[in-house]
A and B are shown apart, each in its own frame.
Chain A
Amino acid sequence: MAEKRDERNAAMSTGVMPAVASKRDLRLDLFRGLALWLIFLDHIPSNVVSWVTIRNYGFSDATEIFVFISGYTAAFVYGRSMQQNGFIVAGARVLKRAWQIYVAHVFLFAIYLAEIAYVAHSFDNPLYTEEMGILNFLQHPDETIIQALLLKFKPVNMDVLPLYIVLLLGFAPALWLLLRSATGALIASAALYALMWQFDFNIPSYPRGSWVFNPFAWQLLFVFGAWCALGGAQRLKRWIESPVTLAFAVVYIIFAFSITLTWHFPRLAAYVPHVVSELIYPINKTNLDVLRIAHFLSLAVITLRLVPRDWPALNSWWAYPAVLCGQHSLEIFCLGVFLSFAGHFVFTEVSNVVAVQVAVSIAGIAAMTGAAMVIAWYKRVERGGSARPPDTPSYARGKA
């Protein structure tokens, strides 16, 4: 069994498949790890530390990074599998992954229920009779839990995993097309995005409304990530490296930053010309606004320039925690959601002074890193290769 796997890994690292990049790009792990940390920080309500996260300085946030890199790594891992083992095997592996994510989501939902039930039981303040209405769903657990299992009832901040599940459910056919005609697949994806904007469709939620992250919109970033992994990045190289592109990116990021400033200091809003605000608002996160995509792409262009693929620091000790978290993204993402619940719990039950907020944030990131180390160790042990030196090949085994 282990031998077979090693054979496959060996085949992988020889890079026999021309379309799929041969070696895992550590930058993906680094930035996905950082995105996971930012998502954790953003998910703790009223957390002082979250002012460091990128959503405060521009239109896009860590979700874009996470979805793009997830698409990239999914194509990297399953693209090779599809070329070697065919559509059925690769498709089955993708579905297995979707199932794992579903199980993780349900597990998190159970923790959420525990928290909310505790709050419902212990909190009663006449000031908040209106807000306490949110706990009413506990009176109909039959309906709520079934709707949660159907991914229609999703508590606050638990929208990313359902999006990921749906993206993976549609990924096998998308990948099939990507491997035949990468650009055709990208055009199809963009067409779906455009149709979604034209006809405004989304998956319904319970008790009403629709998904916070519209999969028909966010698939564009996922497929674009996959397209980049399958040679698209190479094709874009000339564009990415052009000084004109860089100039556009810098100007756009400065523009986005100035607009974002007016959200923090509403009095500055008076300086935004009416024409501009008519044009840009509302910036729709649910349907992945074009302004958000442009902001993410600008950030990506600048990042690629600042962080070359063979940047020595990628293998350094200080990048290691983020790289490691990025390599075990599903587990660390789930842990991050749990830790943000726990962090909020500490704020409300113990204290929310700034020192505690900073301590909770640092402790959370440390816990995520520690867990990633344990998971990496487990995987080594389970492969029966505990004696194996933990050198670069272990990176190549990160999951999508």
Chain B
Amino acid sequence: MKSLRAPLLLSVALVVLCVPASAEMPAACRVAEPEVVTAFPLPRTADAIVKKKLDVLVIGAGSSVLPGKDGAEKAYPARLQKALIEKYPGVAVNVQTDIKRSRTAAEMSAQLISLLGTARPALVIWQTGTIDAMRAVDPDRFGTNLDSGINAARSAGADVVLVNSQYSPRTESMIALGAYNESMRWVALQQELPLFDRFGIMRLWSEEGTFNFHSATKKLDTAERVHDCIGRLLATLVAEGVRLAAPPGGGR
């Protein structure tokens, strides 16, 4: 999967050449924009937008937040909120988060059920995979845990978008993400919901030289820019899902 990057890169490069530059997207993020495609609609989210009130819940582990006192504000959930507000003027967009470090999909799935009762989101964005890979949770069981969380969210009236692991070259030889990324891709396909391929996007940035993920730096600037891009691209994905859900003739 990872190894066919060269032809893939070429095709992406061609697509990039043909895609008109969007005004609000920084050039760095735009490189990865063609990777953000989905064939699956987000009907509940589209409904919420029509009703001018969109509640989003981001549930995730450590890679959904940045360290520091304004870490939450610079991390992708807050950037997503900002991008969605820009995309849907007049809609009250509220992104809530439930981010706690070192949680597996099973733990998050259990907590999701109680959260849904109080938060009542139209859209759940679920970041997971890395902790399960680090703890070597059985990949099949990981898939079942995803399914139960997704089913819970859906029966509570929410759409779901999955977000997979980060691309982390330094730890690549220590964390075997392959089976978990595969499992997420498969579950997303089965459940017919969008997968935000954060791993693929970050790898593309690394290959294009957009960001240097190798540097051992304590500084936050790169991390903040990465999260900003991820927030914007997630908003693009959500908008795409909303567009697919919209009835023909009706716009956003």
Contact = CB atoms under 8 A, between A and B. Distances in A.
B37 A267 contact: yes
For this complex, into which size category does the number of interface residues on chain B fall? 35 or more
Interface string B179-197: 1001101100100000000
B168 A128 contact: yes
A354 B207 CA distance: 9
B173 to A, nearest CB: 5
B166 A127 contact: yes
Contact of A264 (B8, B176, B183, B226): B8
B176 A282 contact: no
Interface in B189-234: 189, 203, 213-220, 222-223, 226
Contacts of B136: 205, 207-209
Interface stretch (B19-27, B59-67, B117-125): B59-67
Given A209-B136, A348-B170, A130 B131 contact: yes
Contacts, number: 142
Given A127-B222, A129-B67, A263-B1, A156 B175 contact: yes
B172 interface: yes
A286 B226 CA distance: 35
A209 B171 contact: no
B226 A209 contact: no
B62 A133 contact: yes
B140 interface: yes
Interface string B107-134: 0000000000000000000000011001
Interface in A315-366: 340-341, 344, 347-348, 352, 354
B223 A127 contact: yes
Nearest to B216: A123
Interface stretch (A45-53, A89-97, A163-171, A292-300): A45-53
Contact of B4 (A51, A156, A208): A51
A122 interface: yes
B51 interface: no
B173 A130 contact: no
B143 interface: yes
Contacts of A128: 63, 166, 168, 170-171
Interface string A46-63: 111011010010000000
B189 A269 contact: yes
B5 interface: yes
Interface in A15-65: 45-48, 50-51, 53, 56
A126 B215 contact: no
B39 interface: yes
B69 interface: no
Most chain A CB within 10 A, of B2, B39, B102, B179, is at B2
Contacts of A310: none
A155 interface: yes
A134 B177 CA distance: 12
Contacts of A242: none
Contacts of A207: 135-136
A347 B171 CA distance: 12
Nearest to A210: B138
Contact of B171 (A131, A210, A212, A340): A131
A347 B130 contact: no
Given A126-B220, A130-B63, A348 B169 contact: yes
Contacts of A132: 171
Contacts of A56: 1, 3-4
Contact of B173 (A50, A127, A210, A344): A344
Contacts of A267: 37
B137 A48 contact: no
Interface string B152-178: 000000000000001011111111100
A142 B5 CA distance: 41
Nearest to A209: B136
B14 interface: no
A347 B169 contact: yes
Contacts of B168: 127-128, 131
Contact of B185 (A119, A155, A266): A266
Given A130-B131, A264-B8, A45 B39 contact: no
A130 B101 CA distance: 7
Given A53-B3, A210-B138, A352-B169, A130 B62 contact: yes
Contacts of A205: 136
B101 to A, nearest CB: 7
Nearest to B176: A156
B135 A45 contact: no
Given A51-B3, A127-B226, A284-B140, A45 B172 contact: yes
Given A127-B223, A130-B63, A282-B140, A264 B169 contact: no
A157 B131 CA distance: 18
21 contacts: A45-B2, A51-B6, A53-B3, A124-B216, A124-B218, A127-B63, A127-B223, A127-B226, A128-B166, A128-B168, A128-B171, A130-B62, A130-B63, A130-B130, A131-B171, A133-B102, A134-B134, A157-B176, A209-B135, A209-B137, A284-B140
